Chains A and B, each alone.
Chain A
């Protein structure tokens, strides 16, 4: 990218980040709640984007990991654990379970892997619902406290929104670093051509499992924030539909693009709210919008931008070529 473009991008980033911090200050409780939801879902979708978009493994279990995180936080914090401690435990659990769930990925590929993870999602839902001794079953867990961060209580909507936003920022930075690290390059090599990656000496087994485990951990982190956000957890929101919704966020935002999940979660969380003016028809309009978007650009929203930039680059290149050619002709 040119120096000019990079400056433009940096300016855009500052405006967006500043906007996310300043604008919600005078939002009402509902607006803050929805924005917090968006931040939480973005984190979960970023995890799936790593597994799917960068490492090329289709997972339909991300919703189950959000569930594991939410239940972990709900159970532990209602038993007096601080949220940060339960976060630690959830990260460990999700990493191990995600690692184990990645094993089928070594044996089977593509849609078969999606089916295994689909089965896992359904099994987790049944565990959440049936193991009442642990999860309080269908009654759910209520009165989940909101944490104190460095002595600041986050009981009110605005501080809690900042907690979600701050977590999103940390996760984004970690992701940024990961994608640029040798690991990230190995993940992408895996997606583009697993056989070639192996012949280049990349331990495909380890990286596949790693992609699954890290993606799952991000799902868990989202869950840890989800529990104190709604302050109530029951099994129903963590059924297969959540995994499908998260997959949709990744695809619609643009799979394999760093900021795809931000836009995808925006479509999934904010768009239905904007469409609510249509009352009974709002979900219908939402479905139509998603379909139309995917028909227009099957590679998602950032796919449009990518295509646009790509064609601009081609145009610029051909303009240069044309200029050079005319110069050449003039010289002759």
Chain B
């Protein structure tokens, strides 16, 4: 293994020295990838360095949107009962040729079947190729229970059979765990008894070929000459791993990198006023919420929840916590997602009305707990600060709020409890751009005691999202989800807090970068001006 890396690095070094005028894009990334087999992980940082540059999926998200477009599958058909998905694969797609692997055949159905069966079937030799590894996303999206069969029909046709109807299935296949691996490469590693290498030196069909990873320092890729969508404009792509946001900014200013993610909110105004830099913004596919425990008095009463929603000044929270880099949320799904109901009216901030509503509901001297997350997440940078502002707001209507916080894993575990005492600040970042991934995952009846932190089971709402889940036609689904949002707002299991805005600073020389609402950082199609 060491020898291979050494040889690879040496060759790459010679290659790099040879092309003095190579166009290079340096991306100051925020952290180290955990590994290079995307199916084993759930973190965006890992996906940015593995699935996005190196791999493709059967279906892809159209750049800048959450819509599905053909990827390695040229086309697909769905049977009338919605249970069979037949994919026609793109012919002539080449896997990357690297210093450690030379493919002898094009991508075909065997690769697709392998890529999913290894995650699915426990008797597959690759299911536990790393004893500590598990396929968290594949399991988390419910695929082990959903899949009935994956079958190679011919070299360029694969058929997936499901146990029940699942409209978001296609979107799930566009997720990172759906990256198509080379079975030929895997077989070679297995024969050489070097299986763990699959997680260290990836081979895919994507726009960039993996060259080397210097742990915690840099990841190097070069343009894939045989890329099926055409070779990239840049020759080399380098990730300079830079954990501190202030240092990333300094590196951008000094020209040590050309683009970086996650700037400090406080630095954004200065970046915007710098002539040599530019910023792009995109609404994040996320939501932060305050979930009441709707199974507990007095929060089981809609009137009480509504009154509290009216008492909390969300605009002030967004201004204080995000310095403007977020918008107030009125729906549980973000506005950039299809199915978002624009017509919904948010509960108005009105402490007087809130006070009256609370009195009308017969609630006096209410004291409650507000749970504040101990960590910063993209949807909520400072939950403690948000909770303090809520506490002050609630005080104005005579509600005494106590802020509680605990260690993150414990917070996640205890907030699930049906008997939990208090309202919880938490949030969600979308996985696949499908409204089901928010509405059903976070608010469905079967998620009570789990992801449904409001412990809210409303038959009307649940029926709507379940129906949408099994309806294939998107226009019809949109209607169902819009209706579900009306029920949600009427019943108010959450106070929807915010959707954050993602800012990406870059040098003015960077052209053609497209921000992904899914939070991916992909450099396909990017050019750097000389």
On whether the two chains bind one another, the answer is no
List residues of chain B with CB under 8 Å of any chain A CB: none
List residues of chain A with CB under 8 Å of any chain B CB: none
